[in-house]
């Protein structure tokens, strides 16, 4: 049976596009059932529409208004609403492809061992939203010669931590710019994510 994937995206959606192309081209034995975005202007929405995939804009701001002095309560309420939405699509996998929000247990407990995150760093290095900037700074200040990309399971609320499914090293070339490094990291992200989802759909990890 073909797997069902729900993708969470916040920005341009290039990782989403890699998944859509992988499914359409037969590399991933799965279909993208839903794309969830938290920013109304996110180009990921257009990519989903072009592929004929349902997309939903679900912002956090209404939940912050409901809990103006309780940021944790707002996040948990928001994540519970996301879980209720995603449950309707019966996903085998929920893929965080450039999703720029940490998920709480209100969501993660609903989909144990099924939430996958893509992070532009090697395991145990440069957690958080600025991994490429942090690697570049370490290259400039300490001579760091490599960074990387990993795909991992998200079991809990720890930042960019959890069982690693695959990783790839990306060398930092002495003569390149930060923009050149970022472009090469993104290329590796797209390929690694498709490879992992291909293996997951083929039950390699199960």
Residues 6+ apart with CB under 8 A from 201: 2, 3, 28, 29, 30
User: How many Å apart are CA 116 and CA 152, to the nearest integer?
Assistant: 6
User: How many Å apart are CA 91 and CA 34, to the nearest integer?
Assistant: 9
User: How many Å apart are CA 171 and CA 175, to the nearest integer?
Assistant: 12
User: How many Å apart are CA 132 and CA 33, to the nearest integer?
Assistant: 30
Residues 6+ apart with CB under 8 A from 180: 173
The one catalytic residue among 119, 139, 152, 190: 119
User: How many Å apart are CA 181 and CA 199, to the nearest integer?
Assistant: 27
Give yes or no: 119 in active site.
yes
Active site residues: 119
């Amino acid at each position: 049976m073909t797997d069902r994937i729900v993708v969470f995206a916040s920005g341009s959606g290039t990782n989403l596009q890699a998944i859509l192309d992988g499914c359409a081209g037969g590399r991933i034995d799965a279909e993208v059932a839903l794309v969830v975005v938290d920013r109304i202007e996110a180009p990921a929405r257009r990519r989903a529409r072009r592929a004929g995939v349902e997309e939903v804009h679900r912002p956090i701001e209404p939940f912050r208004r409901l809990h103006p002095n309780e940021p944790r309560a707002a996040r948990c309420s928001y994540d519970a609403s996301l879980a209720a939405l995603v449950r309707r699509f019966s996903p085998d996998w929920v893929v965080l492809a450039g999703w720029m929000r940490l998920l709480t247990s209100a969501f993660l407990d609903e989909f144990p061992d099924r939430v996958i995150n893509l992070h532009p760093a090697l395991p145990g290095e440069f957690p958080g939203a600025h991994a490429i900037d942090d690697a570049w700074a370490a290259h400039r200040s300490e001579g760091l010669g490599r960074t990387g990309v990993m795909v991992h399971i998200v079991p809990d609320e720890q930042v960019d931590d959890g069982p690693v499914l695959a990783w790839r090293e990306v060398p930092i070339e002495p003569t390149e710019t930060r923009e050149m490094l970022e472009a090469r990291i993104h290329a590796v992200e797209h390929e690694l994510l498709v490879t992992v989802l291909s293996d997951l759909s083929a039950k390699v990890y199960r």
